[in-house]
Amino acid sequence: MTFSHSHLLGIEPLPPSAISEILDLADQYVALNRGDMKHAEALAGLTQINMFFENSTRTQASFELAGKRLGADVMNMAMQASSIKKGETLIDTAMTLNAMHPDLLVVRHPHSGAVDLLSQKVNCAVLNAGDGRHEHPTQALLDALTIRRAKGRLHRLNVAICGDIAHSRVARSNILLLGKMENRVRLIGPPTLMPSGIADFGVEVYDDMAEGLRNVDVVMMLRLQRERMDGGFIPSEREYYFRYGLDAEKLAHAKDDAIVMHPGPMNRGVEIDGEIADDINRSVIQEQVEMGVAVRMAAMDLLARNLRARPREVMA
C-alpha cells in the first residue's frame, strides 16, 4: 500500500497513484455490497462521527452505511440542533468531539477551508464531505469509479461538466481529478456561472451546449445552486433549461455511447430532462449512488490503516 495520507480533505493533494488505489479498493467493496453478506471488519473498534453543518441526503446516508458495513460505531451529530446554534465556534465543537476519541470525522461545512482548519485541531482522520465551493473529494472519486467502470478506463476521455460551475465544489474536485488522470475536460455554461480564473485549470470553456458536447464520452450535469447565489445569475429557469438543460436533442451532439451523470439532488426540468435522467441506457445516476458507498468504504479503510499504523501525535 502506498496511500500515505492522514486525511481526505480534497483531490488537490492526491497523486494519481493514490486516486487509483482508492478506486481499486472501492471495486472490491462494490462486490461486497452486491453480495448477501455486506459486512467486513476494516473499521471494527473504531468510532466514526458524521458532522453535517449543511443539509445532505445521499452523502450522509452513504457515509453512514459505509461506516456500518465496515464495522465502525457510527454517530450522526445533528448540527442544526447543536451548540452551533448557541454560538459555539467550529473549533470548540471539534475540540469537544475530539475529547470523545473519535477515529474518523466526516465533515460538511458551508465555508471553504473550514474542514481543513478542523483537521489541524483534532487527532483523528478527517474526511471532507463538502466545504463551501471548495472541494467534495468523495463525490469526484465516486464519479471517477462510475466512469472507469462504464468506459473501461479513466484516461483520454472527453468529459463535459455542464451548468453552474461557479458555485460547485463537485465541479472543482472533478476538474482536478480528471485532469490528474489525463482526461480532456470541457466546461459548458453561461459566462455568469463560470468562475473567474478558470483558464488556469487547463480546461476548455464553452457557452453553447451543442458545440461543447460534440464528441464527448461523458456528460456531467450540475445542479443550479440557488442557495449560493446572491443575485440574478440566470434570466429564468425556463430560459436556462432551453439553453443549458440536457435533453435528447442536446445529448445527440455527444458520442452515441456517452454516459449522463448528475451528483444529485436533481432539478428535473431545470438542468436535466426527467426522461434522460431515467434512461437506463444513458444515465448512470443510480450507479453513482452505488459507487458512493463503495468509495467511502475504501477511503475510510485506507485512512484507518494509516491511523492504526502511526502514533496520533504526528498526525496533521
Binding residues for L-aspartate: 86, 169, 223
Least Cβ distance, residue 223 to ligand ASP (angstroms): 3
The cell numbers describing 297, all together, are: 468504504
Question: Do the Cβ atoms of 46 and 72 come closer than 8 Å?
Answer: yes
Residue number, 38 or 268, with CB nearest to ligand ASP: 268
Least Cβ distance, residue 10 to ligand ASP (angstroms): 13
Measured from each CB, the residue nearest to ligand ASP is: 223
Residue number, 172 or 253, with CB nearest to ligand ASP: 172
Least Cβ distance, residue 283 to ligand ASP (angstroms): 16
Least Cβ distance, residue 49 to ligand ASP (angstroms): 19
Residue number, 179 or 264, with CB nearest to ligand ASP: 264
Cα-based distances in Å from 220 to 74, 86, 282: 32, 39, 12
Contacts of 279 (CB under 8 A, 6+ apart): 260
Report the interface residues with ligand ASP, using CB under 6 A: 130, 136, 169-170, 223, 225, 263-264
The Cα angle at residue 142 between residues 269 and 13, in degrees rounded to 5: 120
Residue number, 122 or 170, with CB nearest to ligand ASP: 170
Binding residues for carbamoyl phosphate: 58-59, 108, 136, 139, 264-265
Binding residues: 58-59, 86, 108, 136, 139, 169, 223, 264-265
What's the one-letter identity of residue 39? Answer: H
- H/E run at residue 251: helix 248-251
Residue number, 67 or 132, with CB nearest to ligand ASP: 132
Least Cβ distance, residue 77 to ligand ASP (angstroms): 18
Residue number, 59 or 119, with CB nearest to ligand ASP: 59
Question: Do the Cβ atoms of 20 and 139 come closer than 8 Å?
Answer: no
Least Cβ distance, residue 112 to ligand ASP (angstroms): 12
